Amino acid sequence: MLGIQEMAITGKVTPLQFSAIVDPRGDLTALEYEKDIPFLIKRVYYLYNVPVGAERGGHAHKQLRQVLIALSGSFTVKLNDGAGIQSHFLNNPRCGLLLERLVWREIVDFSHGAVCLCLASEQYNPDDYIRDQQEFLRQVEENTRDNGTPQSN
């Protein structure tokens, strides 16, 4: 992918582990601002009925931060921060993936019945999206040049 090495993306992607109350009647996981989610949630959406073989995402955000959670089924999140790439397989509702700004994401390999929950730090703003990968890489380079190092937030 654009000559970028498969390597850990540091500071831009954080796996999260949520606690659960386990009960014979069913498990419960509660998510709280600051304790579990490091930003005030301004938007919640979920992907479902995604046909097997379909891909979602294919963009980055200029400011928005988000947490992705597989509420049901499984999918893979492919990530690129302009310096490295990595993939995360999500299949457990007690695990999430925190994505900082300026991370290109593609969500692939949805299982039948998968539900992807997204908790977002901002309300929907089409101007926050970077939908062209070359433009994304240009903005990462510009951000790095202006700040000396890649910035996560």
The structure tokens listed for 153 are: 């937030």
Looking only at Cα atoms, what is the longest distance across the chain? 54
The structure tokens listed for 64 are: 């928005």
Residue type, 78: K
Sheet holding 13-17, edge to edge: 13-17, 95-99, 66-72, 115-120, 43-47
- 59 is an active site residue: yes
Query: Which member of 59, 61, 88, 112 is catalytic?
Result: 59
Using CA atoms, how far apart are residues 76 and 24, in angstroms rounded to an integer?
A: 30
Q: Which positions are catalytic?
A: 59
